[in-house]
Structure 1
Amino acid sequence: MRIDGDNFKELCYWCRIGSVENVDRLVSTGVNLNLNDEFDNSPLFLASLCGNEEVVKLLLKRGAVCDRDRFEGARCIYGALTDSIRNILLAFDISKAVDSKQPFAAHLSSLLTDPSIRSHDIVFQFPGLKNIKLHKFLLAARSSYFEEKFQGPWMDKHLIKMPDWVPQKSLEIISRFMYLVPILHELGPTETGIAKKFCKKLELLDLLEHIDKARHIADPSEKSKLATESQFRFSERARHQMRAFVGKIIKQKICLPVEQTGSSERIKMLKSSVCIPDVFVAVCEKNRPGYRWFYPCHRSILVRSEYFKIMFSSNFKEASSYSQTPEGTVDRSKNFPVISFPCSDSAVAELILAYLYYDNTDISWEFALDVLVAADALFTDRLKTMAAVAIMQSTEFLNHHSIFEVLYVAWDTRMERLEHYAAEVIANDFKFYCHDPRFEEAVIKSSRRIQNRQEADTIELVDDIRYQLLKKHNVDTEEFEEISWDEVITEPSKTVLSPYNKDIEMLEALLNRMGLIA
C-alpha cells in the first residue's frame, strides 16, 4: 500500500538523511511505518539502504516490520548498506513487529502487565479465580460502555463481582486489547469466539473488524501482515481516544485562589468529574498572581515522567497520602493529592499533559523554550529533545528570542544539540554577532563553566564556533589540519581560507581584547 501524505513524505526524507529526532517526531504523529512511497520504498528500506543505523533501530522499536519471508523485509535486509544494519535486521524477531509502536502505548501496556505500578481503582472479581485489576479512567476513555457504567451504577464502586456466565478469559482478552498489549497472534478459535461475543457490547469495533477479516485468511504470512496493520489501527484509535480524553481534562480545569484550594466546593466537585481523577495537577496562572489552575489527572499517566515516578514511589507526602479500599484499590475519596507542574503557563502544562497521555510532540515554537525547561525539571528527556527540535526547525523563533537566550537554556538543561545550534547561528552571521556585547558576555560565561581551569583548557563556545566556521566556509578539516596555524594567519590571501580567516581574525581579536586564551 502506498501513501502520499505530507507527513509520510517527510518521514521518508528524514529516514534517508538519518535524523533520529525528526523520524521520532513524525512517528509520534501516527504515520504508518509499514507503507510505501511512490517508488515502493518503505521508511525502513530507505534508512537501511542509506546506512542510517540509529534510524533503523528506532523504526524497528516503533513497530516497523522486517519479515525476511516477505518481499519488503527481504529488500531491507539485502539492500542494507552495512553488515551491522543487516545483522540487526536478521536478528529482529518478527513477533516484535506488533509490539506497541508508541512509547505512550508501551506505557499503557505496562499499567496492566507491570505489578510494580499500583494505581488501579477497580477490581473485577471472578468466583474462585484471580481478580483482574484495572483503571476506571482508561476503560472510560476507550469504551462508551464503561464510561456510562462509571458515571452511573458503578460510580462509587471499587469491586465488581462478575456473574458466573461471564468467562474470566473474556475480560482478560478485552483488557489486554484496551491496554494495547499485543494479543492478535495469541487468538485461537476459542479466544476469538469469546472476544467476538463481547466486542459489540463494549463497542470495540476495531477488534471485531480484525476478527471478521482474519476468519477468511489461511496464509500465515498474510495473517501476520493483517495483524501488524490491525495493531497499528488499534494504537492510532487509542491515541485519538486519549486525545479526546485530554480534551475533557482541559475542559474540566478550574482556576482558584491558592487560599481557597482546600475548602472550595468546586474542588470537591472536580474530584468526582467525568475524568475520574486521582490527583490534581496545579499550575500557576501567570496573569493572576495568587491563582492556580487545577487539572483532574491520573498518577498512572504522570509516572511516564521520571520525576513523578520517583515522587509516587517514595515516602513523599504525595505518595503516602493515598488511601486504599479493602479491595486494595486507590480510594479517590480521601487525601486527594495536589502536585505542581514546573511552569507558570497553562498552555505549556497542557502540552506536557498531551505528551504524557497520548505522546503528542507537536510543540509550537511559542512554547518550545518553556516546554524544554519544564521537561528538564520533569526528567522527560524525549520531550526535551522534541522541544529542542521545534526550536531549531522554526523560522519564526529567532524573530522573537535571542540566540543567547537559547544558549543559556541549553546550558541549564544540558541540551548539547541546542548548544551546537546556537554556535551555528552565531557562526553563520559572525560579523554581526562578533560586535554584539551579548556575545562577549556569552564567551565569558562559557569560560567560567570550566571547572578548575587549566592552561590547556578550551572555551566550549569558542570551540563550537570555530567548528561551525569551518562548516560555513566549506573548509575540508583534513586539508585544514595539514596547514600550519601560522600559515593560515599569515597568508589570508589563500582563496579557500580567506573568508574563513576573516571570521577567525575577528574572533581572535575579540579574545585578545578580553584577555582570554582559547
Structure 2
Amino acid sequence: MDTCDLFSSCRKGDVGRVRYLLEQRDVEVNVRDKWDSTPLYYACLCGHEELVLYLLANGARCEANTFDGERCLYGAQSDTIRRALRDYRQVTASFRRRDLYYSFLLRLLEQGLHSDVAFVVHGRSFRAHRGILGARSTYFAHMLDTKWKGKSVVVLRHPLINPVAFGALLQYLYTGCLDVGVEHVSDCERLARQCQLWGLLGGLEAKLASKPGVCMKVLTIEPPQADCQLREDLALLADCALPSELRGDLGELPFPCDGLSSCPDVCFRVDGYDFLCHKAFFCGRSEYFRALLDDHFQESGQLAASGGLPAVALQSVSPEVFTHVLYYVYSNHTEVPPELACDVLSVADMYLLPGLKQLCGRSLAQLLDEDSVVGVWRVAKLFGLARLEDQCTKYMARVIEKLVQQEDFVEAVREEAAAVAGRQETDSIPLVDDIRFHMGSLVQTRHAMEQAAQRLHVLEELLVAIGLDC
C-alpha cells in the first residue's frame, strides 16, 4: 500500500522512494497514520535532514503554534532540522503545479520551440512567439499587428533599449517572474513603461521601496501564489483557438478574438470543427502531440480550409472534451464537470497529460457516495490516480456497513484477491489493507475507537463469508 510505504520510507530516510511516491504515485504528503503522525514527523524524529527539506519543499505542513508544527519541532533530532522547520514556508499543491507550468514556459522562451518571431537588440537575438506576446501585452499585440506585422525578424536599434533588460522583460511576459541585476532595473522600468506593463512597473517600484538601504545584487519578482493573471492571459489563446460555433459562453473578453492576432500554426480538426492552435504549446506539454507534430506521425496530411494551416484530424475525442484539453494545455487549468470527468480522463491519458488527469481526479472525487464509490475506485485504479484511489478507500472505510451488502464491492474484493499472484490464505488483499488502514487512521476518541472496531468486525465477517479470511 502506497501510504504505508510512505511512512516506512520516511522512517528509513529513503528520499528516492518518497520522491517516487509523492511525484509518481501522487500520495498525499500530509496523510496521517493511526497515531495521528505525518511523514514529516517521522523524518524529523529519525533525523533525516535531506528528507525533511524535500518534504517541506513539497507541501508538508508544520506551521508554528500548531499541533503538527510543535510536534515536529520537539521531535527533531538535530538543530539543522529545527532551523529548517522554523524557516518553513508553505508550498501548496497548486503552487507545485504552477511551478511545473512555469518551467514549461521558461523552456519555451529559452529554447525557442516553434518560435515565429526573433528580436535583435544590439546584436543579441531573442526568439519569441507572437501569440504569447500579444496575449500578455496590448502594446506588443498592437505592434505585431501593425509596424511589425509579417516580419520574422524585428531589429531594435534604439540606444536606450538594453538587451539584458529586454531579456528580463520577455521572461516576465512568458512566466510572470523576473530576475535582473540591480544595475539594469532602471532599464527594465523604462521598457515596462514603454510597453505599458503597469503591473511589472509597479512590482519593480514596490520591490525597491521595500528594501531601502539593503545592498541587493539581483532583484527578483514572483507573483503571489493566488495570482492567476498569467493563466488568464494565456487562456485568451485558447479562446481564440475555439471554433466560432463553440464560443457562445465566453462572454466579454479582454481581447476580442477578432482583435487579437494569435498567429496559430496548426489546425486540429475534431468532429468537423477546426481548432486553430499553436504547436509550441501542444508539443511542449504533451509527448503525444510532439510525436504527432514534430516526428511526422501524422493522422492527416490535408490542409485546413482556414488560412492554409496544416490540419491534423483527431479521432476518438469530442469537441466538448477537446475544449477542456485546449484550456489545460494553454492555461494549466480547466473546470471539468463531474459528469464529463471520465471522458476527459480517458483522453488526457491518451494524450499523456498527467496534470489534466489529476484535475479529472479532483472532479470525480465530488461524485463519491455509497453507490458510486466502487465505480470511481475502479476508474482510479485503471488510470493510476493514486490520490483518488486513496480518497475512495477512505470513504469506503466510513460506510463499510452498507458496502458489504453491495455485490459490486464484494466482487471488487474478490478481484483484488485474485490479482495477488500465488496468493496464500494468509496473504493480504490490497483493497482490504487500504480500508483497514483508514479505519485505524480515523480513530481520535474512545467512541471513534469503538466505531472502528465495529466496522473492522463487519469487514472481517464479509471476508469469512466469501472465503477470503486474511
- Whether TM-score is above 0.5 comes out as yes
2:234 maps to amino acid: M
1:111 maps to amino acid: L
- Which residue number in structure 2 is paired with residue 145 of structure 1? 139
Q: Does 1:446 align with 2:416?
A: yes
Q: Does 1:358 align with 2:344?
A: no
Report the more deviating stretch, 381-390 or 48-57: 48-57
Q: What pairs up with 1:329-478 in 2 under 5 angstroms? A: 336-338=310-312, 340=314, 343-344=317-318, 346=320, 348-360=321-333, 362-392=335-365, 394=366, 397-398=367-368, 402-451=372-421, 457-471=427-441
Check whether the contact 1:307–1:379 (CA below 8 A) recurs between aligned residues.
yes
2:398 maps to amino acid: N
SS of equivalent residue, structure 2 residue 274: strand
Distance 1:442 1:193, change over 3 A: same
- Which residue number in structure 2 is paired with residue 135 of structure 1? 129
Q: TM-score, normalised by structure 1?
A: 0.61
Rounded to whole Å, the distance in 2 between the matches of 1:309 and 1:370 is: 19
SS of equivalent residue, structure 2 residue 118: strand
CA offset digits 1:389-445 (Å, max 9, x no partner): 3333x2xx1469722221221121122333333333333323332222222332333
Check whether the contact 1:404–1:438 (CA below 8 A) recurs between aligned residues.
yes
SS of equivalent residue, structure 1 residue 317: coil
- Which residue number in structure 1 is paired with residue 17 of structure 2? none
2:263 maps to amino acid: I
Query: How much does 1:178 deviate?
Result: 1.3
Q: Does 1:243 align with 2:238?
A: no
- Which residue number in structure 1 is paired with residue 11 of structure 2? none
Check whether the contact 1:282–1:295 (CA below 8 A) recurs between aligned residues.
yes
Q: Does 1:207 align with 2:163?
A: no
CA offset digits 1:175-197 (Å, max 9, x no partner): 12212374344231xx2333333
Check whether the contact 1:100–1:181 (CA below 8 A) recurs between aligned residues.
no
- Which residue number in structure 2 is paired with residue 112 of structure 1? 109
Check whether the contact 2:397–2:455 (CA below 8 A) recurs between aligned residues.
no
SS of equivalent residue, structure 2 residue 410: helix
1:381 maps to amino acid: P
2:324 maps to amino acid: L
Structure 2 gaps of 5+ residues are: 1-21, 30-42, 46-50, 90-94, 248-256
Check whether the contact 2:299–2:314 (CA below 8 A) recurs between aligned residues.
no
2:362 maps to amino acid: V
- Which residue number in structure 2 is paired with residue 264 of structure 1? none
Query: How much does 1:300 deviate?
Result: 1.9
Rounded to whole Å, the distance in 2 between the matches of 1:457 and 1:253 is: 57
1:56 maps to amino acid: L
1:450 maps to amino acid: V
Q: Does 1:180 align with 2:172?
A: no
Report the more deviating stretch, 241-250 or 203-212: 241-250
CA offset digits 1:111-132 (Å, max 9, x no partner): 122x3x62111112356x1321
SS of equivalent residue, structure 1 residue 379: coil
2:103 maps to amino acid: A
- Which residue number in structure 2 is paired with residue 317 of structure 1? 297
- Which residue number in structure 1 is paired with residue 278 of structure 2? 298
- Which residue number in structure 2 is paired with residue 12 of structure 1? none
Q: Does 1:156 align with 2:154?
A: no
Query: How much does 1:466 deviate?
Result: 3.8
Q: 1:501 aligns with which of 450, 453, 457?
A: 457
Query: How much does 1:359 deviate?
Result: 2.5
- Which residue number in structure 1 is paired with residue 40 of structure 2? none
SS of equivalent residue, structure 1 residue 124: strand
Rounded to whole Å, the distance in 2 between the matches of 1:409 and 1:496 is: 27
Rounded to whole Å, the distance in 1 between the matches of 2:359 and 2:27 is: 8
Report the more deviating stretch, 440-449 or 337-346: 337-346
* RMSD between aligned residues: 5.0
SS of equivalent residue, structure 1 residue 232: coil
Query: How much does 1:164 deviate?
Result: 5.4
Rounded to whole Å, the distance in 1 between the matches of 2:370 and 2:147 is: 53
SS of equivalent residue, structure 1 residue 123: strand
Rounded to whole Å, the distance in 2 between the matches of 1:319 and 1:165 is: 49
Distance 1:349 1:205, change over 3 A: same
Query: How much does 1:207 deviate?
Result: 2.0
Distance 1:378 1:449, change over 3 A: farther
CA offset digits 1:468-497 (Å, max 9, x no partner): 445567799xxx9xxxxxxxxxxxxx9984
Q: Does 1:278 align with 2:265?
A: yes
Rounded to whole Å, the distance in 2 between the matches of 1:196 and 1:225 is: 15
Query: How much does 1:311 deviate?
Result: 1.8
Query: How much does 1:147 deviate?
Result: 1.4
Query: How much does 1:138 deviate?
Result: 0.4
Q: 2:100 aligns with which of 103, 111, 131?
A: 103
Distance 1:186 1:180, change over 3 A: farther
SS of equivalent residue, structure 2 residue 58: helix
Check whether the contact 2:416–2:431 (CA below 8 A) recurs between aligned residues.
yes
Q: 2:224 aligns with which of 194, 211, 232?
A: 232
SS of equivalent residue, structure 1 residue 133: strand
Q: How many residues are paired up?
A: 400
